Amino acid sequence: MKLPKKDIERIAELARLGITEGEKEKFREQLSSILDYVGELEEVDTSPIEPMGQVTGLENVIREDKVKYEVRSEEYEELKKKLLKNAPETQDNYVKVKAVFE
């Protein structure tokens, strides 16, 4: 199956690629051969094969969230004061930074 030149130009446009005439012909041949190969793969009978989501056998490991250490409220307040003292500018107990959005 030989792809038309206009299809290659459209693919290049969608991918925002500036390609030369020589590259268009090269990509046309390469994409055509890829599509021919995919066509061959479609002829293979895969009906006895069960669909798979993944092949590694790995599973998600979910752990319970646990507190590693607790900070008492007075320790927290002391730590917050130290951190805010090092900030160049603060407002309402927060570090003030330049606006990210206008």
pLDDT for position 19: 93
24 within domain boundaries: yes
Enumerate residue ranges in the chain where pLDDT < 50.
none
**DSSP string for residues in 5-48:** HHHHHHHHHHTT----HHHHHHHHHHHHHHHHHHHHHHTS--TT
pLDDT in tens, 51-69: 888 888 888 888 888 887 7
102 within domain boundaries: no
Q: Which domain holds residue 34?
A: 5-42
52 within domain boundaries: no
